[in-house]
Structure 1
Amino acid sequence: MHDHPTTDDYQWPTCTAPRCGRQLWVAETGRWICRPCEDATATRLAELPGLYARLDTTAMLMRGARRQSGGASGTKTPPIPPRLEVLALVGPGGVAARLSAVEDAWRQALGWTVAPWRGSAAQALPEQVTFLRNNLLWAASSYDEVGQDVEEIRRLHAECTALASGEKRPGRVAIGHCPVRVDGILCGEQLTATTNTHRVRCHGCGTRWDGLGEWRDLRAAQEAVLVEMGGAAA
């Protein structure tokens, strides 16, 4: 169990990873993210080179493409890869570039020089992963923006995994605004939900609703806010 103070005005530190927010244990005091988020990030980093290798293939890029005749000559020319989402991850601005941004930020915070050029994305990725894994414990404990970097690595891993496995990403829909008041001020953040989870989390105030019962509570609170605002307008 957590060993939390009972002082009413004391706010126990929480994990800064956007999708976590759990309270830190006593042994985690001074950290910016919890150990489960650190472990999950280390695992995702270790899997990224393999996922990249699966995506960076002609077969993956050209899946679903059809060759078209080149007119009267009868020659055939290869089409533009139809899977632009794959190209976006393996090409410029993709996996390697996004990890490079994280690595450069960490190096700057450590007072180290920016990483030297390492050639292609396939050549750079293993070294980026090694650097980030080797310095993940430092970031978890000493780098105040690590929560956002953990979320970026999570998103990157999820995008690669979905494409490599052929999964269709669930659609995300808006479900109204957050009805929670923080210090008397309405949060109002746009809430979204997907078909593959029963959890809704506000990225503004961090409030979570999990399961059908809490979803009903959320809807009731949203309707109450609308009634209140309608009355104020009148």
Structure 2
Amino acid sequence: MNDFPACLRCTRDLRDHELGRYLCGSCEDRTASHLAAIPGLLARLDQHLARGSSSGPAVSGSKTAPAPLNLSVLNLQTERGPILAPLETWVRDWEFSGYAEVNETGTVTSRLTHVCRTLRFNLGRAVSQHPAIDEFADEVAAIHRTLARTVTGEKPARHVNVVCTCGQALRITLDVRGITCPGCGAEYGHSDVLRLPLAERRAAA
């Protein structure tokens, strides 16, 4: 049970009906939405398998023929790639806690569908019982973001450097949920970290 009256992910104060949970209702709903969308996004990757279907740079003058498939997209569809493998790891973790069931048979597509359905079905219980649920939500969001950007061609969020009140430079993206300063341990939520001053760029040598 969460002993602190704030969401571990967005750091918003929990409302009365959310007390005792690790995530607020909004973060739970967002995670559930990501889990529901991930299998469909994976299925759409087939449209981006052909080399050159992504927005990557064209290479001319190569002495060898290009690979017929986009290997970075192909890797997303593999059993041990960055989509299925980490989600199945979470299912195994939740199974150990007694509220999920692993099924590692069948195609990658069928396994991913089972994984997302299982995690989504047990999400409400995990939100109240699993102290690492914020790490889970962050990883699900990162997986959803990777798939969505691959499918839509959206460019990654731009990084900027801001300065903590202790003087430590912090590298963030504009969609960051929150960050902890490694220098002094200060914790910033989304709106707070965006209010920090920008770090000065170093002059070129």
The two structures have a TM-score, normalised by structure 2, of: 0.76
Q: Equivalents in 1 of 2:38, 2:107: separation in Å?
A: 16
1:169 matched residue in structure 2: 156
Number of residue pairs aligned between Structure 1 and Structure 2: 186
Q: Distance in 1 between matches of 2:102 and 2:66?
A: 37
Cα distance between partner residues in 2 of 1:122 and 1:172: 33
State the Cα distance separating 1:120 from its structure 2 match. 2.2
User: For residues 163 and 150 of structure 1, what CA distance do their matches in structure 2 show?
Assistant: 20
Compared CA separation, residues 213 and 15, structure 1 to 2 (3 A): closer
Deviation track 1:83-122 (CA, whole Å, cap 9, x = no partner) reads 51x233212223111210111111112276x613222211
Indicate yes or no: 2:8 matched with 1:16: yes
Query: Which 4+ stretches in 1 moved above 4 angstroms?
Result: none
Structure-1 residue corresponding to 2:187: 206
Return the offset for 1:51: 0.2
| CA distance in 1: counterparts of 2:125 and 2:177, whole angstroms | 31
Distance verdict in 2 for CA 1:110–1:28, change over 3 Å = same
**Structure 1 residues 202 and 213 mapped into 2: Cα distance closer, same or farther (>3 Å)?**
closer
Find the partner of 1:159 among 133, 137, 146.
Answer: 146
Task: Give 2:52's match in structure 1, choosing from 27, 49, 64.
Answer: 64
- Which residue of the partner structure matches residue 229 of structure 1? none
Q: 1:62 to 1:38 in 2, by over 3 A?
A: same
Greater fraction helix: 1
SS in 2 for 1:22: coil
Larger Rg: 1
SS of 2:195's equivalent?
Answer: helix
User: 1:166-200: per-residue Cα shift (whole Å, max 9, x none)?
Assistant: 11113324334x325xxxxx8x4x51233x55x78
What whole-Å deviation, never above 9, does each CA across 1:55-92 have from its counterpart, x for those lacking one?
1x1x41224179xxxx9xxxxx77253451x2332122
Superposed CA RMSD = 3.3
1:1-234 aligned within 5 A: 13-17=5-9, 20-55=10-45, 57=46, 59-64=47-52, 79-82=67-70, 84=72, 86-91=73-78, 92-110=80-98, 115-176=102-163, 178-180=164-166, 188=168, 190-194=169-173, 201-204=178-181, 205-208=186-189, 210=191, 214-215=195-196, 218=197
State percent identity of aligned pairs: 28
Q: Is the 8 A contact 1:33 1:147 kept in 2?
A: yes
AA matched with 1:193 = I
